[in-house]
Structure 1
Amino acid sequence: MADESTQSIVVDAPPQDIMAVIADFPAYPQWANAMKKTEVLGEFEDGKAREVRFTLDAGPFKDVYTLAYEWAGDGLRVDWHLVKGQMQKTQKGRYLLTPEGDKTKVTYTLAVQLAVPMIGLFRRKAEKMIMDIALKELKRRVEAPNRA
């Protein structure tokens, strides 16, 4: 398994608002720039996604992949892992939400192993960029005054 990378950001919203955006996979193409298409393939009894197929186009990195999700009962954590992908051998990730008064600290952990070899330095730089963009786009979406 690849080394994990972790990044955090503070969002001006309660955890349930943030988790609602994270769990709304059909809306990802509206706010996650590299995400071109999402398709929920299966759901748990509570309606949360069990498996989701993503079509990603991040310039030189394009992929169609499926992730399986595990949602924590307290609504503060979601974990996922790769079921199948074209460019990825493995992917394991997590969002962990920590309430901080009226705000929430969002910690994003990601480990990706590509099917093609990549020098560790470039892989870590790519992971950092992906995580930085994902957290900033999530924050912007959650804090948007006209989000519906």
Structure 2
Amino acid sequence: MADRTSSSTTIRAAQADIMAVIADLEAYPDWASGIRSFEVTETGDDGRARRARMTFEGGPISDTVGLAYTWEGDDAVRWELVEPGAVVTGLHGAYTLTPAGDAETEVTYELAVDVRVPMIGMVRRKGEKRIIDSALKGLKRHIEG
């Protein structure tokens, strides 16, 4: 898996409130551009997704993939590809939440994507950055409303 691309934003909300939005995978199409559907296929004892299938459209790349999730309370969530799609062959991501002052939380999103189509690293990282920035903006807008 290639190096990850990451970006951060500060959101005016408590860490637990932000993680509750992140954990509601099936609501992503409401606020995360490019996500067409999310179906949780297995949940853990905490009620959060262990496995899910996501369908997305991102410019020239559209696909459906299966993901496995690891939750670290309200501090972080990590996911990895367990069912490759027609285009996506590798995917690792994470949201990390850190308190950032009075009722604010810093949210960092990391992402690494591999695809079947040969792609220059710089182009791949630019695509990852676009996905990350769009997701963080959507999350912030959804929470701060």
Q: TM-score range by the shorter chain?
A: over 0.9
Counterpart-to-counterpart distance in 2, 1:89 and 1:58: 15
Matched to 1:124, the amino acid is R
Partner of 2:77: 78
**Distance in 2, Cα, partners of 1:120 & 1:33:** 23
Shift of residue 85 of structure 1? 2.2
Classify the secondary structure of the residue corresponding to 2:46. coil
Please name the residue that 2:129 is paired with.
128
* SS of residue paired to 2:81: strand
**1:8–1:106 Cα contact (<8 Å) kept:** yes
CA contact (8 A) 1:63 1:85 kept: no
Question: Structure 1 CA distance, aligned partners of 2:82 and 2:132?
Answer: 20
Please give the residue correspondences for 1:16-95 in structure 2 after superposition, counting only pairs within 5 Å. Answer: 16-73=16-73, 75-86=74-85, 87-95=87-95
Measure the CA separation in 2 of the matches of 1:122 and 1:115: 14
Q: Percent identity?
A: 49
Q: Is the 8 A contact 1:13 1:142 kept in 2?
A: yes
Per-residue deviation at 1:2? 1.1
Offset of 1:59 from its aligned partner? 2.8
Q: Which residue number corresponds to residue 142 of structure 1?
A: 143
After the TM superposition, which segments of 4 or more aligned residues of structure 1 sit over 3 Å from their partners? none
The superposition leaves residues 62-92 of structure 1 with CA deviations (integer Å, 9 ceiling, x where unpaired) of 010011000013x111111001122111111
Runs of 5+ in structure 2 lacking a partner?
Answer: none
Q: 1:107 corresponds to which residue?
A: 108
Aligned equivalents of 1:81, 1:40: Cα separation in 2: 14
| Alignment TM-score, normalising by the size of structure 1 | 0.93
Equivalenced residue count is 143
CA shift, 1:11, in A, is: 0.4
Shift, 1:45, TM fit: 1.1
Tell me, what secondary structure is at the counterpart of 1:125?
A: helix
Structure 2 length-normalised TM: 0.95
After superposition, what is the alpha-carbon deviation per residue over 1:94-146, rounded to whole angstroms, capped at 9, x for unaligned?
110000112000011111111211111111110111111011001111112xx
Return the alpha-carbon distance in structure 1 between the equivalents of residues 144 and 78 of structure 2. 23
Unmatched runs of 5 consecutive residues or more in structure 1 = none
Partners of 2:94 and 2:59 lie apart in 1 by 24
